[in-house]
């Protein structure tokens, strides 16, 4: 297990933002995605910790951090990231999935950020991100059917091709077993699945906002994998076209979970080069 220390700060609305720290050197923030917490980026953090002080927050609603709050939205998330930048002194930020959306939006208005790396932000372009599964997901969450809701989300988002091939009747029991196996995780699956509704809110709120980033000042590194769904490649295509100085890199054989359980050292090698440039 990777050793780390913990710290916290407060966002503009008073919400506690807890984060893990490891390594030494210039500060880097790693922002996790949906149905995740800081625990999911610790392999990536460990791989970067030889050159950087790596700070891995639990985004609000998870782990060491406070609740989402009644007025949750991208404004709260950008306030959170700004507070973390000010507290840690990080000028480099990596975001995965919805964490990449937060990173991208925050780079518009957060002084001090000079480099961002974005791994497959689900930026919807003319309705490209599939959301037709959300009503069923919401009903299952309301009925406390966590495994069913997880299966609905995985099939709807098509993040992992293997899950798409498994019949739903078989997938739901598998999700139940998986949740039991990870019940000792810092933030277990049953606590993470309901948070996805808030990440969906970000996707909806930021749909078709790619033109907003045409004059983005920080250096930008769009990242993705060859096995990820087409709508994530669409988002990267749009951002790479919109942001003139963006340098795009595609990892052969990796999917959406590349920075998590795909090949964190490989992703870290690219991030190290970009952040030290």
Q: What is the CATH number of the domain that holds 63?
A: 3.40.50.1820
- Residues 145 and 240: their CA atoms lie apart, in Å, by 39
Choosing from 198, 220, 240, the residue where a domain stops is 198
pTM, two decimals, is 0.96
Range of the domain at 191: 134-198
Please count the structural domains in the chain: 2
- SS3 string of 174-220? HHHHHHHHCCCCCCCHHHHHHHHHHHHHHHHHCCCCHHHHCCCCCEE
Query: Per residue of the chain (277 residues), what is the pLDDT tens digit?
Result: 689 999 999 999 999 999 999 999 999 999 999 999 999 999 999 999 999 999 999 999 999 999 999 999 999 999 999 999 999 999 999 999 999 999 999 999 999 999 999 999 999 999 999 999 999 999 999 999 999 999 999 999 998 877 778 888 888 888 887 777 677 789 999 999 999 999 999 999 999 999 999 999 999 999 999 999 999 999 999 999 999 899 999 999 999 999 999 999 999 999 999 999 8
Residue 35 and residue 101 in one domain: yes
> Are 163 and 171 within 8 A, CB to CB?
yes
Choosing from 198, 218, 238, the residue where a domain stops is 198
Choosing from 143, 169, 198, the residue where a domain stops is 198
Residue 139 and residue 213 in one domain: no
- Residues 44 and 54: their CA atoms lie apart, in Å, by 9
CB atoms within 10 A of CB 107: 23
> Are 173 and 166 within 8 A, CB to CB?
no
Beta strands 16-22 and 53-57, pairing class: antiparallel
Tokens (6 digits) for 9: 């700060």
């Amino acid at each position: 297990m990777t050793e780390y220390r913990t710290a916290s700060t407060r966002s503009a609305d008073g919400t506690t933002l807890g984060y893990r720290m490891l390594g030494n050197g210039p500060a880097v923030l790693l922002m996790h995605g949906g149905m995740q917490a800081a625990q999911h980026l610790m392999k990536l953090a460990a791989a970067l910790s030889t050159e950087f002080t790596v700070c891995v927050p639990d985004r609000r609603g998870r782990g060491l951090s406070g609740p989402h709050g009644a007025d949750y939205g991208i404004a709260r998330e950008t306030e959170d990231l700004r507070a973390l930048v000010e507290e840690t002194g990080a000028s480099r930020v990596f975001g995965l999935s919805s964490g990449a959306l937060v990173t991208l939006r925050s780079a518009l208005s957060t002084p001090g950020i000079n480099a961002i790396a974005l791994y497959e932000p689900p930026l919807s372009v003319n309705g490209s991100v599939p959301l037709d599964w959300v009503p069923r997901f919401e009903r299952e969450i309301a009925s406390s059917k966590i495994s069913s809701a997880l299966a609905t989300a995985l099939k709807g988002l098509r993040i992992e091709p293997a899950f798409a091939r498994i019949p739903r009747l078989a997938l739901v029991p598998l999700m139940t077993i998986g949740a039991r196996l990870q019940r000792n995780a810092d933030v277990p699956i049953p606590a993470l699945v309901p948070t996805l509704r808030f990440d969906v809110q970000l996707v909806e709120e930021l749909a078709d906002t790619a033109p907003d980033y045409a004059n983005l000042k920080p250096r930008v590194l769009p990242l993705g994998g060859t096995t990820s769904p087409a709508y994530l490649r669409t988002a990267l295509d749009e951002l790479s076209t919109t942001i003139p100085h963006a340098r795009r890199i595609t990892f052969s054989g990796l999917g959406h979970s590349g920075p998590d359980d795909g090949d964190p050292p490989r992703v870290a090698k690219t991030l190290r080069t970009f952040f030290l440039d």
